Amino acid sequence: MTKLTTKVAKKSISAAATARAAATHAVTDSTRARATATTPARQRPIQNPKSKIVPSEARSLTNPSDSAFYQPSDAFFHANRPTALTFDDVSLATRYSEILPRDADLATSLSDTLRLTIPIISSDMDTVTESRMAIAMALNGGLGLIHYNMPPAEQVREVARVKHHIHGFLQNPITIRPDALVADLLAKIEQKTYAFSTFPVTDDAGLLLGLVSGNVVKERYKTKKIADVMTPRASLITENIRAVAPDPIRAADTFFNNHIGIHKMLVVDDAGHLNGMVTSSDVERITAETKTLRKPARDTAFRLVVGAALSPIRKPDGALDREKILAHTAALVAENVDAVAVSTAHGHTAGVGDMVRLVRDAFPRLTIIAGNVTSAGGVAYLADCGANAIKIGQGPGSICTTRMVAGVGIPQLTALYVAAQGAKTAAAKNKNIRIIADGGITKSGDIVKALTLADAVILGGLLAGCREAPGEIMEINGKFYKQYRGMGSLAAMKSGSAARYGHDKNDATRKLTAEGIEALKEVSGDADDVLANLIGGIQSGMGYLGAKTLPALRANARFMRVSPAGQKEAAPHDVVEVSTRKQ
């Protein structure tokens, strides 16, 4: 053994480098001999005494023990077939890292023209996304998909509210008429769950007549007319739209500095028509937001991005109503919508394919999201039809009962892996298809796992409790909840989403079969706070995997299957958890 060690020491540097390269996958006899000359091989790195292993080389060395247990996606999912796995069945192995979590870049894209700064999309559900949620999503760098359980013209207006939104400058503030009663205003505030009680007063033509403040919007004054309790126009200090338009926030900041005690800046045109409003609290919040690292998602004209779901409108004979679909899509495009989503429970169908082709032929540059599917064939099919991004998931949502009712659906992580193979097939045809994980996500760790196989995630339940979600707030035993229902629930289908599940809400001869439930979500605060927590978790996961970007996350991901005991170990256990959440 000593003679062999002496021979190795006399080898040239190039020969030693060759031996070190060979040691990437197995320890050679010469390496063992050199190691045993001083200390056991397990305690000694494989290294040439005349050169150092730099960090990049260290990363390239694959430990045989690690690779035997922690596998890349292809090896892992093939080894576990035919068992289908979801998020809690799997854990990710940590990797060598040179980044801090805060430096992880979450930017992604849904097409060549639509880029997001965070990979999160709010679901096109009628208890999750309307204009308020879509605005919050875009301001945080994501995308909101406005649902279609509303008249087509109203959906167009919801898109317009997002596209015309200037952060802090309310171009269409909610107003009240002078002949209304305070009781009418109180009822409106309760019905719409407004968090404010100060309203501009205008006539039918939009002429500013005054301002009614929150200190008079009380039960004791409910029989009085708004005209009797408002501050009249002559007593208000206003700004002209021409002076404000170039930079509304800077103009408002100057206004509030010059007019101490005033908290609303009303903006009018030369004729006195109300053109907008800025509040002092918004200005202060915007000033603070300029220091954040997250940037809003905007289009090339600096407008917030927004998407809208399309309903597969059909004629009485079951054929697609092409004229109505194209007319509605054209109205959305006229408002500069950034993406449309053809959303159905079963996307691998001739009807969905026809609708995607119809929209693609009419609007070649429009980003189209289509789904839902759980197969490589479904992804390849929708890609051939013209979709840019494809939603993956059938039945994983917390309020979805498709798997129980219809007996179909694939656990989400396996579905994502199989669907990703369809995206690879499309890539061979020079089609850059994005994969979106839709459903089953209950925590930030699930998002990290999903992003090892997908380009973005869609959230429903995690956002349904936010104040920006359109569901009604109700109090039960001192706690506040919001309505949350699946688009396959009876109530949602009767409101318009029946076509999503292959039913006709106007068909009186057959009963709608629900594939979702109605439920409650505890109010979770503002979307900003919820997204901040989720983003922090995603960045933490990327830091553990040494991934600065999402493509690096996908490349670095190594999977391990977890036992039921391992799942229990992963969560807080054997303690009494203390909640510090504000009530």
Which residues carry out catalysis? 400, 500
For residue 561, the one-letter residue type is R
For residue 441, the one-letter residue type is I
Which of 444, 436, 303 shows the shortest CA–CA distance to 370?
Answer: 436
Which of 415, 381, 484 shows the shortest CA–CA distance to 147?
Answer: 484
At 103, list the tokens.
């430096």
In 123-151, which positions are buried (b, 16+ CB within 10 angstroms) versus exposed (e)? bbbbbbbbbbbbbbbbbbbbbbbbbbbbe
Query: End-to-end alpha-carbon separation of the chain, Å?
Result: 72
Q: Alpha-carbon distance 87 to 89, whole Å?
A: 5
Q: Alpha-carbon distance 334 to 401, whole Å?
A: 37
Contacts of 576 (CB under 8 A, 6+ apart): none
Q: Alpha-carbon distance 449 to 442, whole Å?
A: 12
Q: Alpha-carbon distance 382 to 449, whole Å?
A: 24
Provide the pairing of β-strand 367-373 with 339-343: parallel
Report the run of H or E that residue 210 belongs to, with start and end: strand 208-212
Q: Alpha-carbon distance 535 to 105, whole Å?
A: 10
At 532, list the tokens.
């901040």
Q: Alpha-carbon distance 176 to 202, whole Å?
A: 6
Q: Alpha-carbon distance 46 to 30, whole Å?
A: 11
Cβ 87 vs Cβ 440: under 8 Å: yes
Contacts of 258 (CB under 8 A, 6+ apart): none
Q: Alpha-carbon distance 473 to 194, whole Å?
A: 11
Cβ 127 vs Cβ 465: under 8 Å: no
Cβ 139 vs Cβ 527: under 8 Å: no
Dihedral (Cα; 463, 469, 475, 478), 10-degree rounding? 40
Q: Alpha-carbon distance 180 to 174, whole Å?
A: 14
Cβ 360 vs Cβ 386: under 8 Å: yes
Q: What is the DSSP string of 83-151?
A: S---GGGEEEPP----S-GGG----EESSSS-EESSSEEE---TTT-SHHHHHHHHHTT-EEEE-SSS-
At 524, list the tokens.
């979770």
Contacts of 3 (CB under 8 A, 6+ apart): none
Which of 105, 122, 118, 107 shows the shortest CA–CA distance to 339?
Answer: 122
Residue with tokens 């269409």, as numbered in its chain: 172
